[in-house]
A = this chain, B = another copy of it.
Amino acid sequence: MTNKAENVIKEKDLVLIYQDEKRQFLTQVVSGLRLSSDLGDLKLSDIIDKPFGFVGKTHLGRDFYCLKPSTADLMMKVKRTTTIVYPKDLGYLILETAIGPGSRVIELGTGSGALTMVLAKFIGPDGIVYSYERREDFIENARKNVERAGFVRNVEFTCAEIGQKFFGQNDVDAIFIDVPEPWAIVPAAAVALKGGHHLVSWSPNVEQVKRMVEALQAHSFQRIRVKEIIEREMLVRLQGVRPRERGITHTAYLIRAQKVIAMQ
């Protein structure tokens, strides 16, 4: 078996056109369109049928690279209506649950769909993501983002006010919560989640974390842990190796907990 054929760039594919660290573009290939930067133009039709990894030249003779977008690229380059979860945080959180191909997962709220597409990707064709959001316009934008990334088949979007009783699912394998008041969702989440399984949530402020942890304790969640994941870039250059001097210093505190079935 070879999937060499699959590694050829086709119409509608997402390609990461990379020139250098400051010029990298997640681009959907549409014949007739051009991509332009100060290093020159390229016709997207010229890269169709080329393999991923292809090195081309702009009309100014500068190199560009046709790279495969990573999952992180797909997330980070969505059209944003909201702040999004970062790969450093989401990668950790996914491993803190038990989800994989075939899982059924609730996400709340949909936001820009960055998380939605990653969940949809990892649960695969046999799984399903139930994505809740109270703003119709956010869902519209998120649906386009997820569709463009190729993962919309296994997502069911629901526009609903975030209340205490609204989930239409039971026995889901994990619940991902990204809303400003996550504690309000805990009762509904405790109903929808499979016993022993994982709820994860993240918030930028300490007060939110504290209130969420109290809500989880009050609803018999166990093994509650809060982590912060800090990413530090190392610059490896001829003149020397050192951490980057400026950058992102905080995104969110990450909470994980597991549902227990209280005895009667």
Contact = CB atoms under 8 A, between A and B. Distances in A.
A135 B213 CA distance: 36
A170 B6 CA distance: 13
A90 B92 CA distance: 8
Contact of A210 (B92, B197, B241): B241
Contacts of A80: none
Output the residue of A55, A125, A239 with the most chain B CB within 10 A: A55
Interface in A85-131: 87-88, 90-102, 104, 118, 121-122, 124-125
Given A95-B71, A118-B95, A51 B249 contact: no
A121 B99 CA distance: 9
A66 interface: yes
Nearest to A217: B236
Contacts of A100: 71, 121-122, 124
A171 B3 contact: yes
Interface residues of A, number: 93
A47 to B, nearest CB: 11
A39 B121 CA distance: 42
A53 B242 contact: no
Given A2-B171, A52-B196, A66-B196, 13 more contacts: A18-B223, A18-B258, A52-B197, A71-B98, A71-B99, A72-B95, A87-B95, A87-B96, A91-B93, A205-B239, A229-B232, A242-B250, A247-B247
